[in-house]
Amino acid sequence: MTEFPQTRFSLIAKVQSQEDLEAWDQFVLIYRPIIYRMARRRGMQDADAQDLVQNVLIRVANSINGWEKTTPETKFRHWLRRIALNTILTALSRRPKDVAVGGSEILCMLAGQPEDESLVERELAAETKRELYLRAAAVVKKDVDPDTWRAFELTVVSGQTCDEVATYVGKSVGSIYAARSRVMRRLREQISHLQESSR
């Protein structure tokens, strides 16, 4: 679950100009996975979620020139979230009633119900954190020794103890603690860097 991240005004301006393809690519890189996971979490199959992401991005491209920050409280991510949720709910409500036995009617009924705003905000916040972690992990994993990354994965992601991992990989417990610490520090640095570059 993740919130749409803060978007730099410079990136919004470049995307609004519709001439900067690199800015649009960066925008898609940031938001595509978040929108996709929102759709999947609401019961859409992979292909349908992929189509939905395209529809959301087309709607954004067609209407982004109309978005304007009128007050300090006006947030781009709220505007984008509204477009994504409306597109998801429209897609769910237009599904044929006989898509699958024992659930399609409930999905359609739920699609017509208003979303709990606080639940959506928590979902978007968690999705943003997840996306930041995945992007940071992809960078850090390339930069560290495979054994160091494996120690991190086994202790932090899989939840094994440092003692168990040390025995499993044939290293000292101290080296497992050190490896885990190095990767966590690098991840924090990379996440900070990604957050700064998206402001």
Closest by CA to 6, choosing from 31, 35, 32, is 31
Of residues 98 and 72, more confidently modeled = 72
For the chain, the 3-state helix, strand and coil shares in percent, each to the nearest 5, are 75, 0, 25
| Residue 94 in domain | yes
Domain boundary, last residue among 128, 158, 185: 128
At residue 198, the pLDDT reads: 60
Range of the domain at 195: 144-199
Among candidate residues 104, 128, 152, the one where a domain is terminated: 128
Q: Do 153 and 105 belong together in one domain?
A: no
| pLDDT higher at 131 or 176 | 176
* Same-domain check for residues 16 and 69: yes
Q: Which residues of 149-171 are buried (b: 16+ CB within 10 A; e: fewer)?
A: bbbbbbbeeeebebeebbeeeeb
187 and 113 part of one domain: no
Question: Which residues are bridge partners to 124 per DSSP?
Answer: 2
What pLDDT was estimated at residue 109? 52
Helix 46-63 / helix 21-41 crossing angle, nearest 10 deg: 140
Q: What confidence tier does 2 reach under pLDDT thresholds 50, 70, 90?
A: very low
Question: Looking at residue 93, what is its pLDDT?
Answer: 75
Residue 159: give its domain's CATH number.
1.10.10.10
The whole-angstrom separation of Cα 122 and Cα 45 is 23
Question: 168 in a domain, yes or no?
Answer: yes
Residues 84 and 162 in one domain: no
Residue range 141-197, pLDDT digits in tens:
999 988 888 888 888 888 888 898 888 888 899 999 999 899 989 988 988 887 776
- Domain shared by 20 and 94, yes or no: yes
CA dihedral 70, 75, 76, 81 (to 10 degrees): -130
User: Same structural domain for residues 78 and 156?
Assistant: no
Residues 11 and 75 occupy one common structural domain: yes
| Residue 52 covered by a domain | yes
DSSP state of 114: P
List pLDDT tens digits, range 20-66: 688 788 888 888 888 888 888 888 889 988 998 899 888 888 887 77
Residues 100 and 152 in one domain: no
Cα radius of gyration (the chain): 21
More confident residue, 98 or 172: 172
